[in-house]
Amino acid sequence: MVQDQTDTAKWERYYQGEAPWDTGRPASQLVELLPRLATLCHSMRENKAPRALELGCGTGASCCYLAEQGYNVVGIDVVQAALDQAEKQREQLQERSSAAAERLSFKCQDFWELEDATDVHGTYDFIFDCQLYHTVAPEARARLVDLYQRLLQPGGVLCMLTGNANEAEVGPATVSREELTLDCGPFAAASWEQVELCETRFDPTPAYDRLERCPLAWQAIFRRLPSRPDPAPDRAQLVAQLE
Ligand SMILES: C[S@@+](CC[C@H](N)C(=O)[O-])C[C@H]1O[C@@H](n2cnc3c(N)ncnc32)[C@H](O)[C@@H]1O
């Protein structure tokens, strides 16, 4: 399930059948994180609804949850069928809270287009990535992390839930601690602060039940510091430091 360029047709096929990751509920790790997010996220200002973004939001349950918690939320996915389901969730949210539903929007878009959309850079307080990063080809992952950093306000927080290579790959693609460190490393020294990196498991789905265990995951939390390093540290140097 690793993509080196966006294979929209592949993602569409998943949503025509069973999307093995889809729980229909907000990620349990996100629910646990929320009470401390305002403390972690230095960019959140009082009396103003913070802005949140999920790339690869799928059927949108985590986005709905964030909107219910007071965030202005944008969910982006490349598959319209997934977003049709997300819109249904938004309609249900509307019945519970029209204010929350108004804070939420979904957009059908390839997230790589955001690299050039400089008008949205520096606008988000919180970015959530649930099983997107590990689907990106290894050589493009650092680019995705760089995009996240550009999209976040200084002080903003990124939370990623991604496959963990400490257990044999049985479901989603996996990444090692070293790979994660390298992808985020070029920014770690001067403008990316690692808040947390811990092991967890993806929430149960019927497909994971058939695997007889939920795949092991990383929960990685980073905070964007005020400045970006210029120039970024050399990747080869970082590899040497890890060896
Ligand atoms: C493994 S799924 C995770 C979905 C959702 N975050 C969840 O946890 O249920 C990855 C999602 O990313 C979307 N996606 C993949 N490549 C994308 C791209 N280039 N732009 C936007 N969305 C993309 C897929 O359509 C899919 O919904």
Distance 131 CA to ligand 1 centre (A): 7
Residue 63 above 90 pLDDT? yes
Contact status, residue 170 vs residue 211, Cβ threshold 8 Å: yes
Range of the domain at 98: 8-14+49-242
User: For 22-26, which contacts have Cβ atoms below 8 Å and span 24 or more sequence positions?
Assistant: 22/58, 22/59, 22/205, 23/61, 23/203, 23/204, 23/205, 24/59, 24/61, 25/61, 25/203, 26/61, 26/62, 26/64, 26/65, 26/66
How many Å apart are CA 22 and CA 195, to the nearest integer? 27
For residue 229, name the pLDDT band (cuts at 50, 70, 90): low
Domain count, the chain: 1
125 in a domain, yes or no? yes
For residue 43, being part of any structural domain is answered with no
Which pLDDT does position 6 carry in this prediction?
82
Cβ of 82 closer than 6 Å to ligand 1, yes or no, is yes
Query: Is residue 76, in this structure, part of any structural domain at all?
Result: yes
Ligand 1 pocket residue status of 130, Cβ below 6 Å: yes
The answer to the question of residue 92 being in a domain is yes
Q: Over range 213-228, report the average pLDDT.
A: 88
- Tell me which residue has its CA closest to atom 3 in ligand 1: 131
pLDDT (mean) for 69-78 = 97
- Please report which confidence band the pLDDT of residue 225 belongs to, taking 50, 70 and 90 as the band edges: confident
Residue 26 within a domain: no
Do the beta carbons of residue 126 and residue 51 sit within 8 Å?
A: yes
Pocket lining: 111 vs ligand 1, CB cutoff 6 Å: yes
SS3 for 164? strand
pLDDT computed for residue 4 by the predictor: 47
Atom from ligand 1 closest to the CA of residue 56: 12
With respect to residue 217, please indicate whether it lies within any of the assigned structural domains: yes
Q: What is the pLDDT of residues 95-105, one digit of tens each?
A: 999 999 999 99
Task: Let me know if residue 27 belongs to a domain.
Answer: no
Bond before 204 cis per omega within 30 degrees? no
Whether the Cβ atoms of residue 99 and residue 78 lie closer than 8 Å to each other = no
Q: Are 127 and 133 in contact (CB under 8 A)?
A: no
Q: Does the beta carbon of 58 lie inside 6 Å of ligand 1?
A: yes
| Tens of pLDDT, residues 184-202 | 765 555 678 889 999 999 9
What is the rounded average pLDDT of the residues 110-132? Answer: 95
Q: Is the CB of 8 under 6 A from ligand 1?
A: no
Identify the residue whose C-alpha is closest to ligand 1 atom 20. Answer: 110
Give residue-wise pLDDT tens across range 142-165: 899 989 999 999 999 999 999 999
Instruction: Residue 39: count other Cβ atoms within 10 Å of its Cβ.
Output: 8
CB 170 within 8 A of CB 217: no
Q: What's the pTM?
A: 0.91
CATH classification of the domain holding 186: 3.40.50.150
Cα gap 66→236, rounded to integer Å: 38
Ligand 1: which atom is nearest the Cα of residue 161?
8
Cα-to-centroid distance, 192 and ligand 1 (Å): 24
Residue nearest atom 13 in ligand 1 by C-alpha distance: 56
Task: Note whether residue 225 is domain-resident.
Answer: yes
Instruction: For residue 224, give the H/E element and its range.
Output: strand 216-224
Cα 132 to Cα 126: distance, rounded to the nearest angstrom: 16
Q: In this structure, are residues 155 and 192 in contact, taking their beta carbons and an 8 Å threshold?
A: no
Cα(51) to ligand 1 centroid in Å equals: 20
